[in-house]
Amino acid sequence: MIKAFEVELDKLRTRIIKMGSLVDEQVEYAFRALNEWNVAMAHLVMERDSKVDKLDFKIEKQCQRIFALQQPVARDLRLIMAALQINSDLERMGDLAFNVARSVEPLLPARKFIERLELTQITDAVHTMVRHTIDSFINNDPEMAFTIMRSDIRVDQYEQRIGRQIVDMMKQEPEFIEAGALLIVQLRNMERLADHATNIAEDVIFFTEAKIIRNRFDQDEYKDLQRDLYTEMETDTDEERDDS
């Protein structure tokens, strides 16, 4: 019974990693399609969205099955609870990547305006957050997860600055108004991708450290968490030295 339970947990973890890798690719291809005006790549992202949905369904059903047939406790329980939340966030990230990809063709006629903007700043920052948050789960790395949470502030700043640039351009170039409105929506989708990456980082900290982030905007809570994480790192390092 115990061995069967461990097999189920390993399978669940493997599926989450597979889901994360797939979503990471979807985000990467969606951003490349937008930055390079690659309509074919945008269509590829949209076609592969069904794979994300199917994997989401499998993971959700597996979590339900584990809850129904087993009685997970402590770390195992946290893993399953975190897996459910991470899976939900990854599915939403897949939807947001789909939305970005779908906008590429309608935005193409406004290419000359959009290329004046520095969209790669926000797309690079968001994709880095997505990739690192998945790595933090794979490696059980709460320190990386904490760093990702802090990165969300920079994405918010990019969104605000580029959003203002788009509005200014819409005022100066009436023919850009429709495309500009659509691009502002995509900026919001990018910011939401970063929010979901931050959610996953919080779930990694919950799973690995049994700590709940109650308010990500509370600076004091951030400082307390950072202090706890680095204290634990120093303790682990000291123990490794003693063992050697």
Kindly report whether the global pTM for this prediction surpasses the value 0.85.
Answer: yes
Which pLDDT score, from 0 to 100, does residue 72 have? 78
List alpha helices for 37-141, DSSP H: 39-69, 74-107, 111-114, 119-138
Each residue's pLDDT tens digit, 53-99: 999 999 999 999 888 877 778 888 899 999 999 999 999 999 999 99
Confidence of residue 134 (pLDDT cuts 50, 70, 90): very high
Is 70 exceeded by the pLDDT of residue 241?
A: no
Which pLDDT score, from 0 to 100, does residue 70 have? 79
Each residue's pLDDT tens digit, 14-28: 999 999 999 999 999
Rg (CA), the chain: 20
Is 90 exceeded by the pLDDT of residue 170?
A: yes
Which pLDDT score, from 0 to 100, does residue 32 have? 98
Which pLDDT score, from 0 to 100, does residue 101 have? 98
Distances (CA, A) of 189 to 61, 62, 183, 244: 28, 29, 10, 49
Fill in the amino acid letter for 133.
T
Concatenated DSSP letters for 128-145? HHHHHHHHHHHTT-HHHH
If one compares 127 and 235, the residue with the highest pLDDT of the two is 127
Residues 6+ apart with CB under 8 A from 147: 132
Which pLDDT score, from 0 to 100, does residue 76 have? 87
Residue 163 CA to residue 34 CA, distance in Å, equals: 16
Contact 102, 198 (CB under 8 A): no
Half-sphere exposure of 206 (CA within 13 A, CB side): 20
Is 80 exceeded by the pLDDT of residue 228?
A: no
Residue 167 CA to residue 82 CA, distance in Å, equals: 39
Contact 52, 16 (CB under 8 A): no
Residue 189 CA to residue 28 CA, distance in Å, equals: 14
List alpha helices for 119-218, DSSP H: 119-138, 142-172, 177-209
Is 90 exceeded by the pLDDT of residue 243?
A: no
Distances (CA, A) of 122 to 80, 102, 114, 168: 32, 18, 14, 18
Each residue's pLDDT tens digit, 147-166: 998 889 999 999 999 999 99
